[in-house]
Amino acid sequence: MRPAAGSYFMFSFLFYLTLTCAQSIGLLMSAALPSLQLALVITPVLVIFLFIVGGFYIPFTNMPAWISWVKWFSFATYGYCGLLVTEYEGRDIPCADEVTLQIGDAEMCPLPGDEVLNSLGITGLLSKVWFNALMLIVRQIFCRLTAYNLLRCSR
Protein backbone atom coordinates (compact mmCIF):
# COMPACT_ATOMS: atom_id res chain seq x y z
CA MET A 1 0.00 0.00 0.00
CA ARG A 2 1.06 3.58 -0.44
CA PRO A 3 2.98 4.82 2.58
CA ALA A 4 1.48 8.34 2.50
CA ALA A 5 -0.96 9.46 5.21
CA GLY A 6 -3.37 10.97 2.67
CA SER A 7 -3.67 7.66 0.83
CA TYR A 8 -4.26 5.82 4.09
CA PHE A 9 -7.06 8.17 5.17
CA MET A 10 -8.69 8.11 1.71
CA PHE A 11 -8.54 4.31 1.69
CA SER A 12 -10.07 4.20 5.19
CA PHE A 13 -12.78 6.71 4.20
CA LEU A 14 -13.78 4.74 1.07
CA PHE A 15 -13.68 1.46 2.99
CA TYR A 16 -15.98 2.94 5.65
CA LEU A 17 -18.39 4.27 3.00
CA THR A 18 -18.51 0.87 1.31
CA LEU A 19 -19.27 -0.93 4.57
CA THR A 20 -21.96 1.53 5.63
CA CYS A 21 -23.51 1.40 2.16
CA ALA A 22 -23.75 -2.39 2.44
CA GLN A 23 -25.29 -1.95 5.87
CA SER A 24 -27.82 0.50 4.41
CA ILE A 25 -28.82 -2.06 1.79
CA GLY A 26 -29.35 -4.61 4.56
CA LEU A 27 -31.50 -2.12 6.45
CA LEU A 28 -33.55 -1.39 3.33
CA MET A 29 -34.07 -5.07 2.58
CA SER A 30 -35.16 -5.79 6.14
CA ALA A 31 -37.67 -2.95 5.99
CA ALA A 32 -38.93 -3.81 2.50
CA LEU A 33 -39.44 -7.55 2.86
CA PRO A 34 -42.36 -8.85 4.91
CA SER A 35 -40.62 -11.68 6.76
CA LEU A 36 -37.22 -12.49 8.18
CA GLN A 37 -37.05 -15.77 6.27
CA LEU A 38 -37.63 -14.03 2.94
CA ALA A 39 -35.03 -11.38 3.76
CA LEU A 40 -32.49 -14.08 4.66
CA VAL A 41 -33.07 -15.77 1.29
CA ILE A 42 -33.17 -12.74 -1.03
CA THR A 43 -30.60 -10.35 0.46
CA PRO A 44 -27.49 -12.59 0.22
CA VAL A 45 -28.34 -13.48 -3.38
CA LEU A 46 -28.74 -9.79 -4.25
CA VAL A 47 -25.51 -8.75 -2.52
CA ILE A 48 -23.48 -11.57 -4.14
CA PHE A 49 -24.86 -10.56 -7.53
CA LEU A 50 -23.85 -6.94 -6.85
CA PHE A 51 -20.34 -8.12 -5.91
CA ILE A 52 -20.05 -10.16 -9.13
CA VAL A 53 -21.06 -7.25 -11.38
CA GLY A 54 -19.04 -4.84 -9.19
CA GLY A 55 -15.71 -5.95 -10.64
CA PHE A 56 -14.46 -8.14 -7.77
CA TYR A 57 -14.66 -11.44 -9.63
CA ILE A 58 -14.99 -10.43 -13.27
CA PRO A 59 -13.03 -7.41 -14.53
CA PHE A 60 -15.21 -4.89 -16.33
CA THR A 61 -13.24 -5.54 -19.54
CA ASN A 62 -14.26 -9.24 -19.46
CA MET A 63 -17.90 -8.68 -18.51
CA PRO A 64 -20.45 -9.47 -21.25
CA ALA A 65 -22.09 -6.37 -22.73
CA TRP A 66 -25.60 -7.62 -22.00
CA ILE A 67 -24.96 -7.45 -18.22
CA SER A 68 -22.20 -4.87 -17.88
CA TRP A 69 -24.72 -2.00 -17.48
CA VAL A 70 -25.77 -3.44 -14.09
CA LYS A 71 -22.42 -2.33 -12.60
CA TRP A 72 -23.80 1.21 -12.34
CA PHE A 73 -26.38 -0.03 -9.78
CA SER A 74 -23.86 -1.92 -7.64
CA PHE A 75 -22.44 -0.27 -4.53
CA ALA A 76 -19.52 -2.69 -4.83
CA THR A 77 -18.48 -1.06 -8.12
CA TYR A 78 -17.91 2.29 -6.48
CA GLY A 79 -16.18 0.92 -3.41
CA TYR A 80 -13.92 -1.37 -5.41
CA CYS A 81 -13.02 1.23 -8.03
CA GLY A 82 -12.43 3.95 -5.45
CA LEU A 83 -10.12 1.73 -3.43
CA LEU A 84 -8.14 0.61 -6.48
CA VAL A 85 -7.81 4.16 -7.86
CA THR A 86 -6.58 5.34 -4.46
CA GLU A 87 -3.92 2.65 -4.48
CA TYR A 88 -2.77 2.52 -8.12
CA GLU A 89 -3.41 5.87 -9.82
CA GLY A 90 -0.21 7.63 -10.88
CA ARG A 91 2.01 5.00 -9.24
CA ASP A 92 4.73 2.80 -10.67
CA ILE A 93 4.85 -0.65 -9.10
CA PRO A 94 8.42 -1.95 -8.83
CA CYS A 95 9.30 -5.51 -9.75
CA ALA A 96 11.64 -7.99 -8.14
CA ASP A 97 14.62 -9.07 -10.26
CA GLU A 98 13.25 -12.54 -10.96
CA VAL A 99 9.72 -11.33 -11.84
CA THR A 100 8.42 -10.02 -15.15
CA LEU A 101 4.93 -8.56 -15.33
CA GLN A 102 2.82 -8.72 -18.43
CA ILE A 103 -0.38 -6.92 -19.35
CA GLY A 104 -1.71 -7.97 -22.69
CA ASP A 105 1.25 -8.57 -25.00
CA ALA A 106 3.62 -6.07 -23.39
CA GLU A 107 6.05 -6.86 -20.61
CA MET A 108 6.39 -3.96 -18.21
CA CYS A 109 8.64 -3.30 -15.29
CA PRO A 110 8.05 -1.15 -13.34
CA LEU A 111 4.35 -1.67 -13.91
CA PRO A 112 2.40 1.59 -14.32
CA GLY A 113 -0.54 1.67 -11.92
CA ASP A 114 -2.67 3.47 -14.49
CA GLU A 115 -2.18 0.49 -16.81
CA VAL A 116 -3.46 -1.82 -14.06
CA LEU A 117 -6.62 0.29 -13.78
CA ASN A 118 -7.10 0.32 -17.57
CA SER A 119 -6.66 -3.45 -17.78
CA LEU A 120 -9.44 -3.88 -15.19
CA GLY A 121 -11.75 -1.50 -17.10
CA ILE A 122 -11.63 1.25 -14.49
CA THR A 123 -11.82 4.22 -16.81
CA GLY A 124 -13.91 7.36 -17.23
CA LEU A 125 -15.96 8.37 -14.20
CA LEU A 126 -15.01 5.21 -12.33
CA SER A 127 -11.40 6.39 -12.31
CA LYS A 128 -12.32 9.44 -10.21
CA VAL A 129 -12.00 8.84 -6.46
CA TRP A 130 -14.46 11.57 -5.46
CA PHE A 131 -17.08 10.37 -7.95
CA ASN A 132 -16.94 6.92 -6.36
CA ALA A 133 -17.17 8.39 -2.85
CA LEU A 134 -20.13 10.57 -3.88
CA MET A 135 -21.96 7.61 -5.40
CA LEU A 136 -21.51 5.61 -2.20
CA ILE A 137 -22.87 8.51 -0.15
CA VAL A 138 -25.86 8.97 -2.50
CA ARG A 139 -26.69 5.25 -2.44
CA GLN A 140 -26.44 5.21 1.34
CA ILE A 141 -28.75 8.21 1.75
CA PHE A 142 -31.24 6.74 -0.74
CA CYS A 143 -31.33 3.35 1.02
CA ARG A 144 -31.69 4.84 4.48
CA LEU A 145 -34.40 7.33 3.48
CA THR A 146 -36.32 4.62 1.64
CA ALA A 147 -36.05 2.28 4.64
CA TYR A 148 -37.21 5.09 6.93
CA ASN A 149 -40.24 5.79 4.74
CA LEU A 150 -41.10 2.09 4.53
CA LEU A 151 -40.95 1.78 8.31
CA ARG A 152 -43.11 4.89 8.81
CA CYS A 153 -45.73 3.60 6.38
CA SER A 154 -45.84 0.13 7.95
CA ARG A 155 -47.41 1.33 11.22
The helix/strand/coil state of 101 is strand
pTM above 0.85, yes or no: yes
pLDDT tens-place string over residues 43-102: 999 999 999 999 988 899 899 989 999 999 999 999 999 999 999 998 888 777 666 666
pLDDT tens-place string over residues 12-54: 999 999 999 999 999 999 999 999 899 999 999 999 999 999 9
DSSP letter (8 states) at residue 106: E
Q: How far apart are CA 82 and CA 122, in angstroms?
A: 9
Beta-carbon count within 10 A of 6 CB: 9
